[in-house]
Amino acid sequence: MMDKTLFKYLVAGGVAFGADVFTFTALRFFALPLVVANPIARLIGALTAFTLNRQWTFKRVSPRSWRREFARYALLWCFSTLCSTSALAALIYAFPKGGDVFFKVLVECVIVAMNYVVSRVWVFRPGKDCGEVPPKDSLGYK
């Protein structure tokens, strides 16, 4: 059985992913360069994901932890966007007829897996200052 937090993360990620891919597709349709379209699309997806993950997936209620979590999420987003844009550029260069959107979906699936682990253990890490005690899961939290 899938961990409830992982399930919620995947649902929230699906919504954010839809926003990301839709924005990317629209921006590329209007001929924006990849290095502009991908970061804008990822930003729209990231803001959606941060809001859903904070409020629903990880149920963060402490206003004290908001700034720290947002700063960590922003750092993760910057790293993920650099990885995503670099991988997309490499794939599109190597396979010019492969399709931007197909490669976008492929790359983002890998990024999502990486971001779940980092979000769970670093960005939305449970702690006394947050007031949350999560259920025990596969990453060893109570």
What CA dihedral angle connects 87, 34, 116 and 53, to 10 degrees?
180
Greatest mean pLDDT among 58-62, 97-101, 119-123 lies in: 119-123
Single out the residue of 46, 13, 10, 40 nearest to residue 25, CA to CA.
40
Instruction: Write out pLDDT tens, residues 21-65.
Output: 899 999 999 999 988 998 899 899 999 999 999 989 888 877 778
The answer to whether 27 and 40 are in contact (CB under 8 A) is yes
Query: How confident is the prediction for the chain on average, in pLDDT?
Result: 85
Tokens representing 105?
């979906």
Question: What contacts 79, CB < 8 A, 6 or more positions away?
Answer: none
Q: What is the pTM of this model?
A: 0.73
Q: Summarize pLDDT for 57-90 with one digit per residue, the tens.
A: 888 877 778 889 999 999 998 999 899 889 999 9
Instruction: Give, in degrees to the nearest 5, the angle at Cα 119 between 115 and 122.
Output: 125
CB 88 within 8 A of CB 99: no
Average pLDDT, integer, range 119-141? 65
